[in-house]
Amino acid sequence: MTGPSSAVSLGASRIPGWLAPGSASGALIALIVLVLLNSFFTPNFATTSNFWNVLLQASQVVLVAVGMTLVIATGGIDLSVGSVMAIAGSVAAVQLGLGIVPATAIALAAATLVGFVNGTLITRDRIQPIVVTLATLIAGRGLAQVISNDGQLVPINEPGFEILGRGHIGPVPTPVVIALLVAAAAAFALRAMPFGRYLLSAGGNPAAARLAGVPVRRTLITAYTLSGLLAGVAGLIEVSRLGASDAAKVGVNIELDAIAAVVVGGTALTGGRATIFGTVVGALIMQVIATSFNMLLVPYAWSLALKAGIILFAVYLQRAKRV
């Protein structure tokens, strides 16, 4: 993409630290304000059932957006996540006869493989991430349809598998538990493991990272592979929740929601900086808006407009450091 490429950060001092890219504080404040406003003005918003409902509905976007954060931290993008969700969902639905564990494993392996192919083509053939993942978005959606017996709705009659999307652990819905565990693991990896430092340095300045001995290629491939795997998990949750695999619908446009969550959370699209916590907050902001507009009976179209405005505003704050 373009954007002014003069990376001299003359204006950096004008931006307070809590608004700087890589910081989630601005997003957190926005989330708190949103929740407080809704608690006062939206009837039935501040209830336990709605609390779990918001978390449950945000959990799939959180899973996909965590993977997307890793990819965006490298300066890349993954448009294929929605199709990967559909692939994982239809593979699992078709293979459930083999038992829950093998079907889940095969489905996740398929999703991981798509991510690995994305990463390999991007690093080895040096094709822009947006083109590679656009192609796997198109091909992946077709593949998901082919796998589900040529575009059929595949019903799932396996109570054990339905726990994934509809079950609870204590009061907490299973998808929320999975999303939180994944987010925590990713935050830990980003902060405390060599992979995290490799990721940020490869995204910040690939040439310098390579000179410093960072395995840039392997790091990038890992990021895309993880993005595929996490999209696969989200896909399994989705078909388990629906009780069927609908390859035409599962995960459509989730890449937009995920990118929005990442950007609103404070991760810079230019790479080199990332915050998993911010991404989770970003996904929650988007979900709180969607849920409260729904409860206030505001037309869907207006929630789309507000979503667009929030994304633009978040990036407008980010770009200020590069003026």
Partner 1 sequence: MSQALPKTAPSFRERGLAVLRHQGALVALVVALAFGFARYGAFLTSENLLNIVRQNSMVGLVALGMTFVILTGGIDLSVGAVLAVAGVAAVYFAKFGTLAAIAAGVGVAALIGLVNGLLIAKARIQPFITTLAMMIAARGLALAATGENSIPLAPGASGLAWLGRGEIGPLPVPVVLLLLAFATGWVVLRYTRFGRHVYAVGDNMDAARLLGLKVDRVLVITYVVSGAFAGLAGVVLTSRLGAAQPVAGTGWELDAIAAVVVGGTVLTGGQGGAGLTLTGVLLLGVILNLLNLEGTVSPWWQWVIRGAFLLAVVVVQGRMQRAASNG
Pick between residue 189 and residue 252 the one whose CB is nearest to partner 1. Answer: 252
The reply on whether position 77 binds partner 1 by CB under 8 A is yes
165 membership: H or E segment, kind and range: helix 159-166
Residues in contact with partner 1, total (CB under 8 A)?
A: 51
The residues facing 173 across adjacent strands are: 168
Site string for partner 1, 115-154 (x = CB under 8 A): ------x---xxxx-xxx-xxxxxxxxxx-xx---xx---
- Contact by Cβ (8 Å): 45, 292: yes
263 binds partner 1, rule: CB under 8 A: yes
Alpha-carbon span 136 to 251, nearest angstrom: 14
Contacts of 280 (CB under 8 A, 6+ apart): 62, 65, 66, 183, 265
Contact window for partner 1 (CB under 8 A) among 4-12, 96-104, 174-182, 238-246:
4-12
Kindly state the smallest distance separating residue 173's Cβ from partner 1, in Å: 27
| Position 321 contacts partner 1 (CB under 8 A) | no
Choose the stretch contacting partner 1; rule: CB under 8 A; options: 55-63, 183-191, 204-212, 306-314.
306-314
- Stretch in the footprint of partner 1 (CB under 8 A) among 18-26, 54-62, 170-178, 310-318: 310-318
6 sits near partner 1 (criterion: CB under 8 A): yes
Q: Is 126 exposed, middle or buried (0-12, 13-18, 19+ CB in 10 A)?
A: exposed
**φ and ψ of 250, to 5 deg:** -60, 120
In this complex, which beta carbon is closest to partner 1, that of residue 147 or of residue 199? 147
Residue 21's contacts (CB-CB under 8 Å, 6 or more residues apart) are 266, 267, 268, 273, 318, 321
Q: Which is nearer to partner 1, 213 or 299 (CB)?
A: 299
> b/e string for 100-119 if b means 16 or more Cβ within 10 A?
beebbebbbebbbbbbbbbb
CB of 168 to partner 1, least distance (A): 33
| 213 lines the binding site for partner 1 (CB under 8 A) | no
Give the strand pairing for 154-155 and 168-169.
Answer: unpaired
Contacts with partner 1 by CB under 8 A lie at: 1-6, 77, 121, 125-128, 130-132, 134-143, 145-146, 150-151, 256, 259-260, 263, 269, 299-305, 307-309, 311-312, 315-316, 319, 322-323
